[in-house]
Amino acid sequence: MARGTNQKFKFSYLMQIMQEKTDDEHAITMPQIMEELEKYEVTAERKSIYADFQDMTDKFGIEIIKEQIGRETYYHVGSRKFELAEVKLLIDAIQSSKFITQSKSRELIGKIKSFVSEHQAKQLQRQVYINDRVKTMNESVYYNVDDIHTAINENKKIKFKYYKWDINKKLVPRHNGDWFVVSPWALTWDDENYYMVAFDDLDQQIKHYRVDKMMRLSVEVEKRAGKDAFKNFDMAEYSKSTFGMYQGKKTRVKLEF
């Protein structure tokens, strides 16, 4: 049998074909597999494909199941890193998240759909929609989270511009656009928003900032401050009493009706 021009990529193409074209409800025959390989200008004998199937199972954990139906023998992927129900769960989480923008939601969902076969991806189509919920407009939020983690791990301060929503639903800078320089100590998730908890040198107190309202963030050379303030810090208690509320001194009040 003449060899195809992309023969060295046979194993990669074969693995891609099996993951994209097959699942528990959809299987393909050996002639169909060879036909799919030819689309990539790859030729293969049955014996070599059987060996590749064994390597997929042994080395990559991709189980290839053989099934006899009548006179035909069919093959399909039996297990995946993510089951269809798990992918649906991930998509639901992305769609319901306020801090992920609409464009990023579509991009992430497109990538997640590659975890399942093309047939299963069609089932997800009815789930793939972006509803009318309020979603952030700040695309940099994903990189902010990464930079904040870097600053925490490297014990560095960060600098950023902080914004707020105006009456026209546009983000406008706080404090006349001045730079905020703080020491990040934790990232937490509350009410579908990411918050950074940090120590403010100027006010000498712990403050929190919504990550989707932070822009032009950079990691500074200066070491963090606030180690003593966070020595006995209880994130669970702080979250319960602070997020969604204005900062300030806690005071017991008496109301008369």
Amino acid identity for residue 230 in this structure: F
Note whether residue 250 is domain-resident: no
Q: Do 48 and 66 belong to one domain?
A: yes
Contacts of 18 (CB under 8 A, 6+ apart): 33, 56, 62, 64, 75, 76, 77
Q: Do 34 and 91 belong to one domain?
A: no
CB 182 within 8 A of CB 198: yes
Residue 171's nearest CA partner among 212, 216, 130 is 212
Amino acid identity for residue 37 in this structure: L
Rounded CA separation 74/31 (Å) = 10
Contacts of 138 (CB under 8 A, 6+ apart): 101, 171, 212, 213, 214, 215
- Report the pLDDT value the prediction gives residue 240, as an integer from 0 to 100: 72
Range of the domain at 171: 141-242
Q: Do 169 and 193 belong to one domain?
A: yes
Q: What is the CATH number of the domain that holds 11?
A: 1.10.10
Residue at token pair 């969604």: 244
Rama region for 225: left / alpha / beta (φ>0; ψ in -120 to 50; rest): beta
pLDDT along the chain (257 residues), means of 10: 69 91 91 93 91 90 90 89 82 75 82 84 61 59 87 95 86 90 89 85 90 92 93 80 61 88
Q: Do 234 and 147 belong to one domain?
A: yes
What's the domain count of the chain? 3
> pTM value?
0.57
Tell me the CA distances in angstroms from 233 to 185, 226, 237, one per residue in order. Answer: 10, 11, 9
Q: What is the CATH number of the domain that holds 223?
A: 2.30.30
Rounded CA separation 53/14 (Å) = 9
